[in-house]
Structure 1
Amino acid sequence: MNRRNLVLHARSSIERGSKSFARASKLFSKQTRERAWLLYYWCRACDDLADGQDHGHGMSTVPHPEKTIAAMRMMTARAHGGEQTGNPPFDAFGMVAQECHIPKYFADDMIDGFALDARGWRPETEDDLFQYCYHVAGAVGCMMALVMGVPARDHELLDRACDLGLAFQLANIARDIAEDAQAGRCYLPADWITEAGIDPDHLLEPAHREALVHLVNRLCDLAGSYEASARVGASNLPFRSRWAVLAAAGIYGDIARAIRKSDGASLERRIYTGKIKKLRAIMKAFGQALIKSAGRDRDGLWTRARATRLP
C-alpha cells in the first residue's frame, strides 16, 4: 500500500478510535499530522490485538496472548527494518519510523506493556504503576516527540514528552477503574489498596467506595503533576505542535479533573469531555501556545530512566 493510502487508513483509524486525539492532531502541520496518524494507526492496532478490541471497544479474551504478542513483535521488527508486512498498521509504523528515525527500542518498550497485560500482571508498588504507564503510554509520548522533530539526543524534552504519556495513562486508569475490575484487571498498586484497607478481590463493594474514591483522586492528582511537567516541554516545540500538544493535554487533563470533581460518579458511568468542551480546550490552548511556559524542574517525578527491560 502506498503512503497516501496508508495515511487515509490511519486517519480513519484515529477518527474511530480517539475523537480527542483526532481533533488535537488537526492542529499539527500537514507533515507532522500525517506522521502522527501513521504512528497512532500502529499503536491502536497493537492495543486492539492485545485486548481483543475494535478501536478500543468491546474488550474480549484473547485465546493465546503470548502468541499474539510474539506476532506483534515480529511484524513490528520487520516493518522497522524496512520490510513490507502486508499488514497496513505495521507498514504505517515502518514508514513513520524510517521518516523520523524512531529507535526500535521505543516500539519494544510499548509492546512490553502489552506483554504485562498478557501475563495478567498487576502493580505491587507505585513505581510498578509508573513502569506500566511508561510502557503503554510514555514510550508513545517519546515517539510522538520524534515525530514532531525533537532530536533523539534531547533527553530533557523526551522526558517531558514521556510525562504527557504518563498523565494520559493515569487519567485512563482513573476513568476505567470499574470497567477494568469487571474485566479482571486492576492497575491500582497493591500497596495502595492494602493501605486503604480495601479487599482487592472485592474492589467495587459499596463498603470500599469512600476509600476507592480517595485512590481514584490520588491518580488524578498524579496525572495533574505530569501534565504540568509536559506543558513546560511543549514550550520548546514549533507553534503548531505546541498548540496541538497543549490542546491534547487540556482535553485529557479535563477528563482527570472531571473525574476528581465527580466524587465517585466515575465508578458508575464513564466520564468524557463533549465536543463543546473539546473546542474550548483547543481555543484555550491557542492562547497558551502564544506564551511560552516558565521553566519548572522535574524533582520528585518518576523518570523513564527507571524503566527496566522485561524478561
Structure 2
Amino acid sequence: MIRADDLEHCREVIRTGSYSFHAASKLLPADARDPALALYAFCRLADDEVDEGDHKRRAVLDLQRRLDAIYAGQPRNAPEDRAFAAIVEEFEMPKALPDALLEGLAWDAQERRYADLSGVRSYSARVASAVGVMMCVLMRARDPDALARACDLGVAMQLTNIARDVGEDARAGRVYLPLDWFDEVGLDVDQFLRNPEPSVATRRMTSRLLAEAHRLYLRSEAGIPALPRDARTGIYAARFIYDGIGKDLRRGGLDNITRRAHTSKVQKIGWVGRAMLRSGLSMVTPRSPVLHARPLSEVAFLVDSASCESRPLGRAAALLDVLAQLQQREAEIEHRSSRA
C-alpha cells in the first residue's frame, strides 16, 4: 500500500510537471489510478535526472542503485522510491521492465545514434513500451497479445515524440532519426546538426516516421478491448491524442525545425469523447484478429518478461554491459581530472 503522503507528493509532481498525464489519469479505473501516478512519478524522476542533469552517466548509475535498493526491499528515503517500492510489491512488477527503461536512459547518456529503424524501435521499446507494459501490470493484464499491442502503442508514441522534436533535438546535438534514412535522402547528419533547417529531406524522413507510427497506432487498437473495461477510455484517449500530434505536424507542412507541433484543449476534449464512444463499442464488437499479431521483434523481451515469471538472462547481461561502459567512462573522466 502506498503511503498517503507519498501518493500526494506523486500527485503534485505529475500535476505540476505533466498536465497531460495528470488529466489522462482521471480516465483510469480507481484501482489503477494511484499506482499509475506513483509509477509515472518515478519514471518522470528517472527521465529528468538523466535528461536535465550535467552528469548523465552518473545519474544513470545512481538510478541503478536506487532501483536495486527498491527491489531489495530497502528503498531510498524519498517519496518516489517508497511509492514505487509499494507497487513493485503489490503488483509483483518484473524487474526486467524498469531495467529496460534504465537501459534506454543509459543509451541516452551515451548519446547513441541508431543505424536503422529497428534501432530506433529498440530505443522506443525501452523508454516508452516498457512503461506501457508496466501500466498493463498495474491493470493486471498479462496476456501476451494484450502486452504486444501495448508495446505497439508505446513505440508509436515515442516515434511521434521523435518526429515532433527533430529540431529541438538537433539544436541539443542529438539525433534519433535512423542514420540510413539520412543517406537515402542525401543529407549529412553532422552538417544537419550544425545547421538544422527544414528541407525536402527532413520532411521526407518525418513523413516516413509518422507513417510507421500511424501503422502501429492502428495495430495497437486491437489490444485495447483486452484491457479491463474501465481502463479502455483512457488508453484510447492516449492513442488519439498522440496520433493528433502527428496530424498537426502534417498540417504544418512537416516542419519540425522551426515550429513545434501541439494539440489544443478543445481537440483533446474531442478525442476523449471519441475514446468514450470507442470504449463503449468495444463491449459489443468482436475482437480483431490483429490482436494475435506477433510482437515487434524489438519488444518481444518485454512481453516475455511481463507474461512469464522468469526473467530473460540475456536482458540482464545487456543492461550490465551498458552500465559497465558508463562506469568505465566515469572512471576515465575522474582519472583525467585528478591528473590535471
Task: Report the TM-score, using the length of structure 2 for normalisation.
Answer: 0.83
Task: Report the counterpart of residue 153 of structure 2 in structure 1.
Answer: 164
Q: CA deviation at 1:35?
A: 0.8
Report which structure shows greater RCO (CA 8 Å, sep ≥6): 2
Q: CA deviation at 1:300?
A: 8.8
Structure 2: gaps (5+ residues): 303-314, 322-340
Q: CA deviation at 1:260?
A: 2.4
Q: Does 1:291 align with 2:286?
A: no
Q: CA 1:63–1:82 in structure 2 vs 1: closer, same or farther (change >3 Å)? A: same
| Separation of aligned partners in 2, 1:13 and 1:137 | 19
| Separation of aligned partners in 2, 1:2 and 1:247 | 27
Q: CA 1:28–1:211 in structure 2 vs 1: closer, same or farther (change >3 Å)? A: same
CA deviations 1:218-255 (Å, max 9, x no partner) are 11111111111221111111222011100111111111
| Separation of aligned partners in 1, 2:236 and 2:274 | 9
Task: Report the TM-score, using the length of structure 1 for normalisation.
Answer: 0.90
| Separation of aligned partners in 1, 2:75 and 2:117 | 40
Pick the structure with more helix per residue: 2
Which amino acid counterpart does residue 16 of structure 1 have in structure 2?
T
| Separation of aligned partners in 2, 1:299 and 1:149 | 21
Is the contact between residue 20 and residue 248 of structure 1 (CA under 8 Å) also seen in structure 2? no
Task: Report the counterpart of residue 188 of structure 1 in structure 2.
Answer: 177
Structure 1: gaps (5+ residues): 53-61
Task: Report the counterpart of residue 84 of structure 1 in structure 2.
Answer: 75
Q: SS at 1:202's partner residue?
A: helix
| Separation of aligned partners in 1, 2:273 and 2:75 | 40
**2:97 aligned to 94, 101, 106, which one?**
106
| Separation of aligned partners in 1, 2:197 and 2:28 | 47
Task: Report the counterpart of residue 305 of structure 2 in structure 1.
Answer: none
Q: CA deviation at 1:19?
A: 2.3
Q: Does 1:150 align with 2:141?
A: yes
Aligned positions of 1:197-236 closer than 5 A: 197-203=186-192, 205=195, 209-236=199-226
Which is worse superposed, 16-25 or 270-279?
16-25
Which amino acid counterpart does residue 103 of structure 1 have in structure 2?
P
Q: Does 1:5 align with 2:5?
A: yes
Which is worse superposed, 287-296 or 111-120?
287-296
Size of the alignment, in residue pairs?
300
Q: Does 1:29 align with 2:29?
A: yes
Q: Which has the larger radius of gyration?
A: 2
Which is worse superposed, 189-198 or 21-30?
21-30
| Separation of aligned partners in 2, 1:239 and 1:277 | 24
Is the contact between residue 101 and residue 130 of structure 2 (CA under 8 Å) also seen in structure 1? yes
Which amino acid counterpart does residue 83 of structure 1 have in structure 2?
Q
